[in-house]
Amino acid sequence: MIRDQGLISVEQYMGLCNALYYATRDPLGAAGDFTTAPEISQMFGEIVGGVLADCWLRAGAPPNAAYVELGPGRGTLAADALRVLRHAGFAGAVHFVETSPLLRDAQRRRHPQADWHDSLVTIPAGQPLLLVANEFFDALSIRQWVGAKERRILFEGDRLEFDVNGAIREDSPARDAVAWEIGAQLDVRGGVALIIDYGHVKTGLGETLQAVRSHRYSDVLANPGEQDLTAHVDFEALAKAASIGSIKVTRVVCQGKWLERLGIGARAAALAEAHPERGQEIASERARLCDADAMGELFKVMAIHSANWPSPAGFDE
């Protein structure tokens, strides 16, 4: 496309590269490019499931509510969250929004009863949503701006280069559109959404687009479609886009603080007691999820819920 057109935007580049990347591999885990929170420990998905179960019970346990996940990866988070939800009496449908055929297959092996969608709009009407998106928004395309000029990519000889450099600002119509859709769907159906990702609480300046390959940072313009492209999630922008009708958005809290408040310490202790030989391992998994020098502060959690559903636990100071 660049050879044909001369230039493409960062937004187009990121969208095309990631579509190819996710369609052609399972990027998760030690043998892949990066490891996500649910792949580190079952405790992460269990706490997500516990928060959703608590909300669902306080909402009166509507039997038609559905578990919905955006970009479920290997289906690990869904497996851990649903184990807790089922234990609480939840027996609703499971819907996955996933574009990669390869990851859909991996998800189908673990969740044969699930339904797959390209977006939220095809989920059957009337079902309130228990929605989760973990490390989903960071993979959606961003735009970069240098002043009023949208940054683009071209060839310099055989090398890809940016057309302009300077002080960069980022935004993301793709993310805003999904956040808006979550707000719109929750406003009509009722329910709650948990958004977990790495990013910042307030809209700011600066370049955050990055490439990761085999657990190392790589050049963004190298190996197009063969490395993970992500950018920090601007939670202020997501909150703004989702705030429609009578939708409520919680404050944004750090993942570490959120998990600690919701009892990851007690869960780690119970697991270590049941499996004493894994005690050290469980402690280091908790540290990876919660410590400030690991995922604890960079990753943030925010919830969006309809006015007729309760606010989920873990967000009050």
Angle at 309 between CA 305 and CA 310, to 5 degrees: 90
Number of H helices, E strands in the chain: 11, 18
Nearest distance in Å: CB 197, ligand SAH:
9
Q: Tokens for 18, please give them.
A: 């990631």
Give the span between the Cα atoms of 231 and 209, in whole angstroms: 4
Residue 100 or 255 having the CB closest to ligand SAH: 100
Nearest distance in Å: CB 311, ligand SAH:
23
Residue 77 or 220 having the CB closest to ligand SAH: 77
Residue 71 or 312 having the CB closest to ligand SAH: 71
Beta-carbon count within 10 A of 64 CB:
11
Q: Give the CB-nearest residue to ligand SAH.
A: 71
| Helix, coil or strand: residue 168 | strand
Residue 218 or 311 having the CB closest to ligand SAH: 218
Nearest distance in Å: CB 284, ligand SAH:
19
What are 228's strand-pairing partners? Answer: 212
Residues in the chain: 317
Nearest distance in Å: CB 217, ligand SAH:
17
Residue 71 or 314 having the CB closest to ligand SAH: 71
Nearest distance in Å: CB 276, ligand SAH:
28
Hey, what amino acid is at 312? P
Give the span between the Cα atoms of 21 and 227, in whole angstroms: 7
The footprint of ligand SAH (CB under 6 A) covers 18, 22, 28, 36, 38-39, 71-73, 77, 97-100, 103, 134-136, 139-140
With contact defined as beta carbons under 8 Å apart, do 117 and 97 qualify? yes
Residue 67 or 136 having the CB closest to ligand SAH: 136
With contact defined as beta carbons under 8 Å apart, do 142 and 229 qualify? no
Nearest distance in Å: CB 199, ligand SAH:
14
